[in-house]
Amino acid sequence: MRAERATPHTVRSWAPFRRRAFFWLWLGVVISSVGTWAQTVGAQWLFVNDPRAATIVPLVQTASTLPMMLLALPAGALADAFDRRGLLFVVQVYFIGVAVLLAVLTALGMMPPALLLTFTFLVGAGQAMSSPTWQALITELVPRNELAAATRLDMVSVNVARAAGPALAGFVIAYWGVPPVFALNAVATTVLAVVLLAWRRPRVTRGERERFIPALRAGSRYVRHEPVVRTILLRFATFVFPAGAVWALLPLIASRQLGLAADGYGVLFAALGVGAVVGALGLGRVKQRLSSNTVLAVAGAAFALAFAAVAVTSSMSVAMPLLVVCGIGWTATVATVISELQLFLPGWVRARVIAVYLMVFLGTQAVAAPIWGLVTQLTSLRVALLAAAALVGFSAAAGRVLRVPDSHQLDRSPLAYWDTPRLAVDPDPTVGPVVVSIQYEVDDDHQPAFLAAMRAMRRSRLRSGATRWRLYRVGEDVRLFIEQFEVSTWQEHQRQHDGRLTAEDKAIEDAAFSHIAGTPRTHHLLPSTPE
């Protein structure tokens, strides 16, 4: 296992750039993301001097991130079902249309807060469709040994855009106003659309695609029945909820606490982005020395202390380095969580669970932003910032309970170890539900250990596709147990056979089977055919 863990570090950080398609698409994503971040800043600054700014400004972030909570999982399923380049291109055309219309209406003075929030929501909907698609597309652009480096470069692109977009928006707003910022977003998005059109993509051979609704259900079941994923996401949410206040309230920190204009706000936003880039580039070396749980704890504590100091300073020169520290802590946490998920997840469900991660990530920010705005309105900006910093510190301490497992030690590659069913009939793939019944003979002295092992078996069956699971004891023979699990269709059961099981699932079965006598007897119960 040591060799597997060392592999990602033997690849240079910039190695994926040697892949021409990855480089140009990465660059196109950076430019497009710069425009998106500039648009967000323009939308926030448009009403920063409004008497209701404490409510409106955080709601801009809510409107941009809420669609991710609503649409990311369907987008992940679509990204697995359709051509990803075509899907990304359609989304870019949609972005261009929304940005142009937003720029024109703002220039004409026809942009009240409600309409601005509506347009921001529409932009967020496009982001919800494009983010899981781009994440899944990365695996097609680089070989597996460069995937970790490509993921870190993607994190760099996010934070370069997060730094450059607000700074550029602040400059444009200071000299020409808000409407040109929205027009700039349209131009930046066009760049990515052109790159997608110019990409000569090799033909991709795919297996039989899952239908949309069953794919959604399978992804949801996996998350529901995988405690490791739930722990990682809960740990992440406890950080994002308070730490997201830095993005929601930064316009108010700039204008009210530090007395800055739009260009000064852009510089503060850029300081956060610079810290984020430093965190993304330096994390690889740090992870060679520290465990993921230690990184999360240190990053959370550093963020909390720096953010608390931001709350009490009135100096821009003091606030900027503190925000750099906040940016480092933010990115170290985000990058650690997504890398652990990438390593832990089996390939068949990776895109859908990453979509759930994005839902938790941006959905938590969407919920938190208006709450921190309300706290600011009811108390004061300083009280809101100090409360958020305290909760980030609590999240770092809670990591002693919500520990992230070391995914480097897990083998998540697919393993087809079930025997091919020998049926007397050839079932229709769409027939269902199908019940798999397995009979076990267990001696009395092994029964407590067998029953304990079957609890892990239940999770294995349910996360790989089963909709129901039960273990029965045969009344006529105290040594016999019958496991039954139900899958929606025969095709879904075939997916379990062919690509959803891993070495961990086999280890769970081996642990249970070590307590049985003889060989399990398996029957596949199909719906009876009406006469």
Helix (H, G, I), strand (E, B) or coil at 159: helix
Q: Which tokens is 23 given?
A: 């480089």
What is the distance between the alpha carbons of residues 269 and 41, in angstroms, rounded to a whole number? 9
Measured at the alpha carbon of residue 54, what is the angle toward residues 48 and 60, in degrees to the nearest 5?
Answer: 70
Question: How many other C-beta atoms are found inside a 10 Å radius of the C-beta of residue 318?
Answer: 14
The pLDDT mean for the chain works out to 84
Q: Is residue 424 part of a domain?
A: no
Residue 474 is part of which domain span? Answer: 434-525
What is the distance between the alpha carbons of residues 12 and 490, in angstroms, rounded to a whole number? 45
CATH number of the domain encompassing residue 254: 1.20.1250.20
pLDDT the model gives residue 311: 93
What is the distance between the alpha carbons of residues 233 and 419, in angstroms, rounded to a whole number? 35
CATH number of the domain encompassing residue 470: 3.30.70.100
pLDDT the model gives residue 406: 66
H or E segment to which residue 480 belongs: strand 480-487
Higher pLDDT residue, 424 or 515? 515
Please check whether residues 459 and 348 belong to one and the same domain: no
Phi, psi of 483 (to 5 degrees): -95, 135
**Which range in 285-289, 365-369, 422-426, 436-440 is most confidently predicted, on average pLDDT?**
436-440
Residue 177 pLDDT class (50, 70, 90 cuts): confident
Please check whether residues 391 and 447 belong to one and the same domain: no
Residue 50 pLDDT class (50, 70, 90 cuts): low
Question: How many other C-beta atoms are found inside a 10 Å radius of the C-beta of residue 90?
Answer: 17
Please check whether residues 231 and 130 belong to one and the same domain: yes
pLDDT the model gives residue 241: 94
Helix ranges (DSSP H) in 259-315: 262-287, 292-312
Please check whether residues 396 and 459 belong to one and the same domain: no
pLDDT the model gives residue 12: 67
Please check whether residues 335 and 449 belong to one and the same domain: no
Percent of the chain with pLDDT over 90: 34
* pLDDT(196) > 60: yes
pTM across the whole model: 0.76
Residue 8 pLDDT class (50, 70, 90 cuts): very low
Please check whether residues 363 and 458 belong to one and the same domain: no
Please check whether residues 89 and 124 belong to one and the same domain: yes
Residue 4 pLDDT class (50, 70, 90 cuts): very low
Please check whether residues 165 and 93 belong to one and the same domain: yes
**Pick from 188, 54, 78: nearest CA to 133:** 78
Helix (H, G, I), strand (E, B) or coil at 524: strand
Please check whether residues 351 and 495 belong to one and the same domain: no
Higher pLDDT residue, 270 or 482? 482
pLDDT the model gives residue 7: 42
Contact 196, 28 (CB under 8 A): yes
Q: How far apart are the first and last CA of the chain?
A: 56
Question: Tens digits of per-residue pLDDT, 88-120?
Answer: 899 999 989 998 998 999 888 888 888 888 888
Residue 53 pLDDT class (50, 70, 90 cuts): low
Question: Tens digits of per-residue pLDDT, 54-67?
Answer: 667 677 767 777 78
Helix (H, G, I), strand (E, B) or coil at 47: coil
Question: Tens digits of per-residue pLDDT, 135-171?
Answer: 778 877 887 667 667 777 887 888 778 778 877 888 8
What is the distance between the alpha carbons of residues 301 and 279, in angstroms, rounded to a whole number? 15
What Cα–Cα distance (Å) separates residue 225 from each residue in 145, 152, 177, 424, 459? 29, 29, 50, 33, 6
Range scoring the smallest mean pLDDT among 116-130, 205-219, 465-479: 205-219
* pLDDT(205) > 60: no
pLDDT the model gives residue 67: 80
